């Protein structure tokens, strides 16, 4: 089983690497939450992001689809926070620097979605990749 990316497309390698880093951070945070507070969300979050990261490393189609879904959810959540709609719902004021800081993250997420969609054929649908 080969974990090194099989693609020669530099943009796709960079995007997969960035999403893998996000998966590792989310899995670590999930493990931390599970240990510190015995929360079920942490115990569920860690294995999900570990599986997603492994699937992306192996360039599986299901992992690409899941990553695109997670990235779209990130774009929506950051956009809502940037527009301060969260304030209307929860009465929590979002500082202005959070709104400005969300813009580059939204741009990176949208670019990642574009690259993952453009190079869809690079991901294997088979259980065992040759």
Mean pLDDT of 31-51: 83
CA distances from residue 17 to 21, 22, 32, 34 in whole angstroms, order as listed:
6, 9, 22, 26
Q: What is the mean pLDDT of residues 82-97?
A: 60
| pLDDT value of position 85 | 54
Residue 98 has pLDDT above 90, yes or no: no
Three-state DSSP at 88 gives helix
pLDDT at residue 66 tops 70 = yes
Please give the mean pLDDT across all residues of the chain. Answer: 81
Share of the chain above pLDDT 90, in %: 25
Q: What is the mean pLDDT of residues 29-36?
A: 85
């Amino acid at each position: 089983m080969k974990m090194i990316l099989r693609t020669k497309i530099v943009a796709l390698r960079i995007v997969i690497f960035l999403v893998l880093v996000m998966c590792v951070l989310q899995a670590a945070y999930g493990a931390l939450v599970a240990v510190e507070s015995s929360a079920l969300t942490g115990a569920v979050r860690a294995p999900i992001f570990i599986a997603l990261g492994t699937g992306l490393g192996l360039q599986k189609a299901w992992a690409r689809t899941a990553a695109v879904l997670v990235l779209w959810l990130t774009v929506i959540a950051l956009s809502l926070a940037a527009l301060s709609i969260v304030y209307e719902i929860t009465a929590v004021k979002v500082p202005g620097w959070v709104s400005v800081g969300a813009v580059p993250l939204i741009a990176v997420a949208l670019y990642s979605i574009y690259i993952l969609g453009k190079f869809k054929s690079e991901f294997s649908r088979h259980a065992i990749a040759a």
